[in-house]
Structure 1
Amino acid sequence: MATITAALIKGLRDQTGAGMMDVKKALTEADGDVDRAKEIIRAKGIQAAGAREGRKAQEGLIASTVVDGGAGQIGYAIELNSETDFVAKTPQFVEFGDEVIADVAKSGASNAQEAEAAQSKDGTVHDTVEQAAALFHEHVKVGQFAKVEGPHVEVYAHRKSVEMPPSIVAVIATDEAGASVAHEAALQISAMSPSWLRREDVPADVVESERRVATEKSQAEGKPEQIIPKIVEGRLNAFYKENVLLEQQYVKDPSKTVGDLFRQAGGQAVAFARLEVGKGEE
């Protein structure tokens, strides 16, 4: 049996644009004969996959799962992109998403790079995604990734229509007492897209930028100099109420905040993440 070297695999990948595992399998089947391996790749419809790499893949789905961890639960979510929603809504693509998130959760990945390196039945998740491009005849890729840990983790997966897979996923970790309102908080995250959990989490440079903009806007409006600081603080508070989860008005009862919701439950939110298809590159 011929030795299938890394150089041989790379050379055939460069020529065909096929995925690494596809190239390796074709070379093995062809006993190292490159021309025969090319024929095998063409026969399986894999060769065109590489040509799809430059095409935008901004449709797709968000796959998610919750598993038990050492100190509670761990929630995972990953964006898998296709070029069209026609592919995204097929049962095969949804099943593909389920397989990927299972492999990612098993690996314990903490970022998108580790997620792609996770072991799968076809080698790694990266290899699985490359092979999916040939299966679906579109450019397929991994997009955003999130991992949230805490005593309790809740996931809400939002579908824009019944025939489509989840396009928005909200994941929130709470303490045990907060679990009773975790679902409501996940709905809030999905609908209102907060950026931070609490005011203290907003980066200092973001706060400074908002303060500067508020000051300059007040000055441009001709506000009296002596009341500008108070106006600026009011505008900063409005910024927090829009972008900080615990300070947002609760969508189902605007008379209270999400923070009030947790206080009434006697619990706390620990962390959250929100992924939406096509938003990762904005």
Structure 2
Amino acid sequence: MASVNMADVKRLRELTAAGMMDCKKALEEAGGDIEKAVDILRVKGAKDVGKREARTASNGLIAVKQDGESLAALLELNCETDFVAKGERFQELAAKVVAHVLASRPSDVPTLLESDLDGKSVKEHLDEANAALGEKIEVRRFAVLDGGHIVAYMHKTDPQLPPAVGVLVQLDSPNTEVGKDIAQHAAAMAPRYLNPNSVPADVVEKERTVFEQMTREEGKPEAAIAKIVDGRVNGWYKDFTLLEQAFVKDNKKTVGKYAAEAGVKVLAFVRYKVGQA
């Protein structure tokens, strides 16, 4: 086999996002011809797509697409390494898929994967990227907000990487400044639900059970347990529901109060962070 230099290996990796050893082997097999090496990696990648199904895709990016002020989609597209995440091909794929989500409004991820995008299913597009980039590529989740006034905020946790956190905030009336403030708050404070009424009953019951057990183990009087548990549940709401959280720019008021004072109502929000539930 022909010997190859590291400059060509690096160039091939930049072109394909394949691993260093795969690039080196492909160049050796191609006799140093970079174009032939690219083809070799594509063939190898296509053969290895199935082998990657069990691997973990915990890196990636959050992509957003807006259509005017009242319609927006958010998407989490995953890969295995940050090297692929910052690559042009991966980012172009994310932009294409999130635009398709906004246009087609699929009901769930399986429906999205089977839907037609430029004559191929979305799954076929992902498989092609999987083969070309040599990593497991998958859509983890997406959301569409429609109506009102929607503000998007994207946050990079590393300036060298694409956005890892994305937030959409839906207000009942236009106020971009307030929407951005609340979106930035949500990005930083990671609320799980909009308000106490939006928390599923089973989640509340689970937390209440934990707090009751905790209170009993602390030896609190039986007559006081119910009241203490209620207080702890209310404290949980302040930690995990957006409108009950203390506003980061003024912790003397809640996010809900900040919005009300500005004359707007928060109808909904979506917050995604790569790799986070």
CA contact (8 A) 2:71 2:146 kept: yes
Structure 1 residue identity aligned to 2:192: S
Within a 5 Å distance, the mapping from 1:107-126 to structure 2 comes to 107-126=104-123
Structure 2 residue identity aligned to 1:106: A
User: CA distance change for structure 1 residues 209 and 41 in 2, over 3 Å: closer, same or farther?
Assistant: closer
CA shift, 1:122, in A, is: 4.8
Instruction: State the Cα RMSD in Å.
Output: 2.2
- Aligned partners of 2:116, 2:195: CA distance in 1, in Å? 36
Specify the alignment match of 1:279 in structure 2. Answer: 276
User: CA distance change for structure 1 residues 128 and 222 in 2, over 3 Å: closer, same or farther?
Assistant: same
2:152 maps to 1:147: no
For 1:223-262, what per-residue CA distance to the aligned partner results, in whole angstroms no more than 9, with x for missing partners? Answer: 1223222211211110000011100001121111100111
2:119 maps to 1:103: no
| Match among 200, 203, 217 for residue 203 of structure 1 | 200
Aligned residues: 239
CA contact (8 A) 1:168 1:276 kept: yes
User: CA distance change for structure 1 residues 219 and 44 in 2, over 3 Å: closer, same or farther?
Assistant: closer
- Aligned partners of 1:185, 1:235: CA distance in 2, in Å? 25
Specify the alignment match of 2:57 in structure 1. Answer: 57
CA contact (8 A) 2:102 2:144 kept: no
Specify the alignment match of 1:21 in structure 2. Answer: none
Name structure 2 gaps, 5 residues minimum: 1-38
Specify the alignment match of 2:219 in structure 1. Answer: 222
Segment of structure 1 superposing worse, 250-259 or 50-59: 50-59
User: CA distance change for structure 1 residues 227 and 156 in 2, over 3 Å: closer, same or farther?
Assistant: same
For 1:182-210, what per-residue CA distance to the aligned partner results, in whole angstroms no more than 9, with x for missing partners? Answer: 11111111111111111111122222222
Within a 5 Å distance, the mapping from 1:47-196 to structure 2 comes to 47-68=47-68, 73-177=70-174, 179-196=176-193
CA contact (8 A) 1:177 1:268 kept: no
User: CA distance change for structure 1 residues 63 and 118 in 2, over 3 Å: closer, same or farther?
Assistant: farther
| Match among 214, 229, 232 for residue 232 of structure 1 | 229
TM-score normalised by structure 1 residue count: 0.78
Name structure 1 gaps, 5 residues minimum: 1-38
